[in-house]
Amino acid sequence: MNGHPDDSSGAAVGAEAGDVTRREPTVGGAPVPLAPSVVVRGDDAGGHDVAVDRKLRSFLRRRGARSDEIDRAAREGWLSLLTVDRMLMPGKPRYTLAEMSRRAGADEDFSRRLWRALGFPDLPADAKAFTDSDAETLETLIDSGNSPLLVGDDEAAHLLVQQVRVASSLFARYAEMLSDQIFEALRRARELGVSDVDAARLIVENLDWRNLSRLNDYALRIQTRAAMWRKLGAEDPEVPVSGPCTVGFVDLVGYTALSQQLDADDLAGLVSRFEELAYDTVAEHGGRVVKMIGDEVMFVADDPLDAVEVALHLATRSDGDDLLPTARAALAYGPLLAREGDYYGPVVNLASRSVGVARPGTVIASAELRNAVGDDADLVWSRLWPRRIRSIGWVELWAVRRPEPEAG
């Protein structure tokens, strides 16, 4: 369960008091094995006793780490990992799932559904994996599920599980990004000769979870406000279909072959650069990124002309980027089914499957989008031969580009 925004709770390293035989950290009491290549060990690792100053030891003890656990982490060179773990998930595990459920006034089966919605496997029935803060969070979730704003029928439990599942899915990706940054900072510190104990001190001094929590809260609020305006400000807010709307797919040509030639660092740099370019360009022209799918970005825009601008700029900018291969794009216009931050329906299928028809550096669009945009002096439209699209049939497609600059 999630803890308070600035003082998250969870299972400690080592699921039960006195357990020093297990080296792996835990998630809700379930051990997470770490391969040697994953743990960034300090030069002070090697089985020898390493001094841990009183301030750092006190910090870790207040967050649930045992003295023998701290000594072992320092001796084996993973004190920095223990420090991150205790900062993010402080507290001592006291309860099994059943015990936590009883304390929170929740049904045990429902608690298990929420735990699975967070993305974690079932725990042994006797595993004391949950803290006081876990129980408090569960109680808060149950109370929110009983809010008059959310209930009035039998869907309350389903809605709460849905919220937890979607939030966990989104934050899992965010967590991967944050952990990559922390890992890289620790790796560089090692290269500069910083010891594991000193790295742990740097983590305590520099990892400001309160500021990250404020960012998360702000981003969620402003995104929810924008989504509510799109939905409740629609002509017919009773209809759960967004539309008409434009959906676009932009991918990198030759990415599969290129990815087999690049090493891991170069490939990560390419993907990161494309993601940065996609998010900046889509936002700049009034669209919204739905998701990144490897070398492909899916986006939506309420104004079809905005969608065309996004696609043309992405194609142009990728072509002029030394790091990226050329991009191509496909756009389609019509009603979309919006659900849990994603979009579905025939219009999405058409755009997704048409992108393979586009030549490198070009943008193609459905006939519906061509008609919606109308004539624009800054765009040149060319009707393509009808194409047969898999599982859709024959469709009319158009290519769109900028006019050629006038001579002289």
Just give the CATH number of 238-401: 3.30.70.1230
What is the three-state SS of 234-299? Answer: CCCCCCCEEEEEEEEEEEECCHHHHHCCCCHHHHHHHHHHHHHHHHHHHHHCCCEEEEEECCEEEE
pTM of the model: 0.65
Domain boundaries, the chain: 1-233, 238-401
Q: pLDDT tens for the chain, 408 residues: list them.
A: 544 434 433 333 333 333 333 334 444 444 433 333 334 444 444 556 678 889 999 999 999 898 999 999 999 999 999 999 899 888 888 899 999 999 998 889 889 989 998 888 889 999 999 999 899 999 888 776 555 444 444 577 888 888 888 888 888 888 988 998 899 899 899 899 999 999 999 999 988 888 989 999 998 898 888 878 777 765 555 555 555 899 999 999 988 888 888 888 888 889 889 999 999 999 999 899 999 888 899 999 999 999 999 999 999 999 888 889 999 999 999 998 888 778 889 999 999 999 999 999 999 999 999 999 998 768 999 999 988 888 888 999 999 999 887 665
Do residues 364 and 357 make contact, with C-beta atoms less than 8 angstroms apart?
yes
Of 136, 194, 103, 187, whose CA–CA distance to 5 is shortest? 136
Tokens at 319, concatenated = 């072509």
